[in-house]
Amino acid sequence: MGTLRLLENAPLVTRNTFRVPATASLFAEARDRAALDELFGYASLRNGPLLVLGEGSNLLFAGDPPGLVVSIALRGITILERDDDRALVRADAGVNWNDLVHWTLGHGLEGLENLALIPGNVGAAPIQNIGAYGSEVGEFIETVEAFDRDSGELRRLGRAACAFGYRDSVFKREGERWVVVAVEFRLPSRHELRLDYAGIREELAAMSIDTPRASHVAEAVTRLRTRKLPNPAVIGNAGSFFKNPQVAADVATALKAEHAALPIFPANNPALRKLSAAWMIENCGWKGHRDGDAGVSAQHALVLVNHGHATGAQLLDLAHRVATSVRERFGVMLEPEPRIIGARFDGSPA
């Protein structure tokens, strides 16, 4: 018998960073290998609706999750291979992401510094290929180990099979198929630091750092993020609520002709451009807007916030109105970044 922890009617309000209420009819948490094996043998893990819950920083409970909710809470980190130039690091799904970033830097390994302070755990990092300040995690992932609910087997997916894109991967596209158990990262001992994203060089200068090392970049990014984004420990939020829309280059040029101040960035696909959703939302007048406890952050227009007792349905309704006004003014569709549970984006039942 393993140590699988099972709870009926488990409250989820403290398990999501929006701090909205929801209930799991059955919640299972695996803290060790034996519990994980027990979980994989469990019939409802194979059949029916499933939500794998990490730290709840990229989802919105617009209703209760319809089936089993599981948490993969194994927390080991090991170096599998190492030579002078690089190492292969394996981290279990339940390791906190920012802890892993600092663990790798502390072990003389670079690469993850621009991704410091992103909330959530390691198991969720490949789901939307977390990215910030000019880096995406997929660049450093060698293998994702995941339970495949279709075949009932534990599988190892190489980077190509993960099909990483901007806030996208095979795991996000094949919604409920995969349960990520561990991630293996190939990290260099030294690499060219990425300092070009707006604000990094200025922050390093403010820290009086002339010759930055990776740990300085992590600190600069941490300082920038702390200033720019609302802290979920203070006010409920899930980071950017919408993805930055990607449009064909000629569409971006036409928008720029009409709205000269609209920030436009390159996309991974050279035929596309990324538009600043925050700028468009702010331009529609939503920044700092509040309907009861559901609001748009006054600090960053791309972040929806819960001022106290908003429900997921109220936040979803606000999100839908924000997206509608951006579509009417700019002709651009905004897509939510977080996973929405219990309803569709337009508010209809899931």
141 Cβ neighbours under 8 A, 6+ residues apart? 126, 159, 162, 164, 183, 184, 185, 186
Which residues 125-164 are close enough to bind ligand FAD by CB under 6 A?
A: 125, 127-128, 130-132
CA dist list (Å): 287 to 37, 106, 182, 316, 322: 47, 39, 38, 16, 10
Q: Binding to ligand FAD by residue 203, rule CB under 6 A?
A: no
d(CA 303, CA 276): 13
Q: Which range touches ligand FAD (CB under 6 A), out of 52-60, 153-161, 212-220, 251-259?
A: 52-60
> If binding means CB under 6 A, how many residues of this protein chain bind ligand FAD?
34
**Which residues of the shown chain bind ligand EPU in the complex (CB under 6 A)?**
132-133, 198, 228, 239-240, 243-244, 263, 276, 278-279, 282, 287, 300-302, 337
CB half-sphere exposure, 1, CA atoms < 13 A: 1
Say which entry of ligand FAD, ligand EPU, none residue 224 contacts (CB below 5 to 8 A, set by partner kind).
none
Q: Which residues pair with 24 in a beta bridge?
A: 10
Structure tokens at 280: 């468009």
Pick the closer one to ligand EPU by CB: 149 or 225. Answer: 225
Looking up tokens 């599981």, which residue turns up?
70
Residue with smallest beta-carbon separation from ligand EPU: 239
Among 98, 104, 114, 237, binds ligand FAD (CB under 6 A): 237
Please, what is the minimum distance in Å from the beta carbon of residue 270 to ligand FAD?
22
| Residue tagged 């899931």 (tokens) | 350
Whole-angstrom Cα distance, residue 298 to residue 269? Answer: 32
Beta bridge pairs of residue 13: none
- The one-letter code for the residue type at 14 is T
Least distance from C-beta 282 to ligand EPU, angstroms? 4
Q: What share of the chain is helix, strand, coil (3-state, %, to 5)?
A: 30, 30, 40
- List active site positions: 167, 240, 337
The answer to whether residue 51 forms part of the interface with ligand FAD (CB under 6 A) is yes
* Residue with smaller CB distance to ligand FAD, 239 or 330: 239
Query: In the bound complex, what is the minimum distance in angstroms from residue 232's beta carbon to ligand FAD?
Result: 5
Q: Provide CB contacts within 8 A for 200, sequence distance 6+.
A: 114, 133, 134, 194, 217, 220, 221, 224
Of the candidate spans 154-162, 192-200, 230-238, 281-289, the one that interacts with ligand FAD by CB under 6 A turns out to be 230-238
Binding of residue 306 to ligand FAD (CB under 6 A): no
Which of ligand EPU, ligand FAD, none is residue 263 near (CB under 5 to 8 Å by kind)?
ligand EPU
Please identify, using beta-carbon distances, which residue of 23 and 189 lies nearer to ligand FAD.
23
Instruction: Indicate the residue among 57 and 71 with the shorter CB distance to ligand EPU.
Output: 57
Query: Can you tell me the distance from the alpha carbon of 182 to that of 333, in angstroms, rounded to the nearest whole number?
Result: 34
Q: Is residue 272 classed exposed, middle or buried when 0-12, 13-18 and 19+ CB atoms within 10 A define those classes?
A: middle
Query: Which of ligand FAD, ligand EPU, none does 178 bind, CB closer than 5 to 8 A by kind?
Result: ligand FAD
Query: Which is it for strands 77-82 and 86-92: parallel, antiparallel or unpaired?
Result: antiparallel
72 near ligand FAD, rule: CB under 6 A: yes
Comparison of 237 and 314: residue with beta carbon closer to ligand EPU: 237
* Alpha-carbon span 283 to 275, nearest angstrom: 13
Placement of tokens 């981290």 in the chain: 91
Binding at 336: pick from ligand FAD, ligand EPU, none (beta carbon under 5-8 Å per type): none
Which CB sits closer to ligand EPU, 94 or 336?
336
Give whichever of 255 and 341 is closer to ligand FAD, judged by the CB atom: 341
Gap between the Cα atoms of 114 and 139, Å rounded: 12
Is there binding between residue 121 and ligand FAD (CB under 6 A)? yes
Point out which residues bind ligand FAD (CB under 6 A): 17, 51-59, 72, 93, 118-121, 123-125, 127-128, 130-132, 171, 178-180, 229, 232, 237-239, 339
